[in-house]
Structure 1
Amino acid sequence: MSRNVRITLHPSFDVLAATTAARLITRLLDVQSERGEATVVLTGGSVGIATLKAVAESPARLAVDWSKVNFWFGDDRFVETASADRNAGQAAAALLDHIDVDPARVHLMAASDEVANLAAATADYTSQLAEAARLEWENDDDADSPQVPTVPRFDVLLLGLGPDAHIASLFPDLAGIRTQGVPVVAVNNSPKPPPLRVSLTLEAINSAQEIWIVAAGADKAAAVCLGLAGANPVQVPASGAHGVGKTLWLIDQDAAAKVPEQLMRRDS
């Protein structure tokens, strides 16, 4: 396990969601204090959405200038806009509809009733990322790269975890987890319905300053163990997620049940 990987253990699902929400609020405040704005990549899933709901319910949320927070999504389902399967809709109901967010800063993956096909949705999100990265690069006097990056700076990138150890919509042994050289990939054959999805690639995910993998439940225990043990990312996508500055595994007791003690390193 690399040196920048830390584990935080929580007694229950509810405590995990509430604590992750508090941590996210604090992190956004710290980044805004340093840079004026902050960027977070959202995830779906039960814990991911519960975390967003806990943010919306926290009195501390009022300290964040939500009009200067940029929101992206790690993946979404290529279904109609109104579908309950959309991560975007779930995130809106849990948090985005309850804060003073600038709509121009909420970057959605296109729905199936908005573009012609999955390829168009993938191209659209690639373009959104590239434009944001270009503007950021042009306005950064301290930019250390002579080339415009393909994605903007992600301060915090949230990831859920599937029982099969998938992250975003990057599934074991499928093409998405193998894709390199592009920030966004079309997923045509997700083993978890719906089958059509758009996802950030592992390269784009790993550009984030901090990656937080949030998992709860006994059904995630084997995936957590394999991810922390450093298994091959093609078979265990979660093991390939590494933030530039820090990677946090935020898990409850049930999800940690199969993790050997020598792998447990608590975050300070």
Structure 2
Amino acid sequence: MATSDPTIKTTQAVDETGEGSSRILQTRGLTKRFGGLTAIDDVDFAVDAGELRCLIGPNGAGKSTFLKLLTGRHDPSAGAIYYNGAELTDLPPYKRIDRGISIKFQVPSVYPDLTVEENLRIPLQRVASKAEFEERTIETLEQFDLLEEIDTTAANLSHGQQQRLEIGMAMTLEPDLMLLDEPVAGLSVEETEEIAELLVELNDEDVAFIVIEHDIDFVASIADRVTVLHQGDIFTEGTIEDVRSDPEVKKIYLGEDH
């Protein structure tokens, strides 16, 4: 369990993820209990700056709970979260956003009655002056292939376009770490390929990603490394080739017995 001494906490945060460390994020002993259920069990997890990490595992493995711990939507029962040289464990969600963490959950949470442009302006208000709004809006719409939909209400976008819009909204906050929960769920093959290309492009701009996903082909097309969660703990980590060839992973995740 994390120490209560703030000086030691700060020193450990700097040692784990500060200047001179390749890591942007490190959890130590991270645990979340809901009554008698342990959803996340003493997890040590690290992501390097600029890395694209995929997090996979069977339903109920604790993946979404883990992301909610990272963003402050859940308070941990034990453990610590270090990010960019600071401890985030007790920070509220908005302060984590200010420090450079953005998240997109599985179900798009765009504002359906607002236009695409109006949706983008909401997060832009946090980071851009009014004089920058138009230029930043156009740049984002072009990057996310939504310029032709600038005046379309979000409710009238396709599911894939809504996913791109929400990722675009999160990226306007200029995060160093982006968390995505099943970004291609319900998308067509073509839309899935478009999201894969987009994430690789954004990652090339030195944004680190943690992506929860069930689609192994999608994971294979984007991931630097893959972490497998099982029963709230890290079962294994490695390249997608390592994970795919592991017979134990096939049993717990792919449902195969050989």
TM-score by length of 1: 0.37
Report the structure, 1 or 2, having the larger strand content.
2
Scaled by the length of structure 2, the TM-score of the pair is: 0.38
Larger Rg: 2
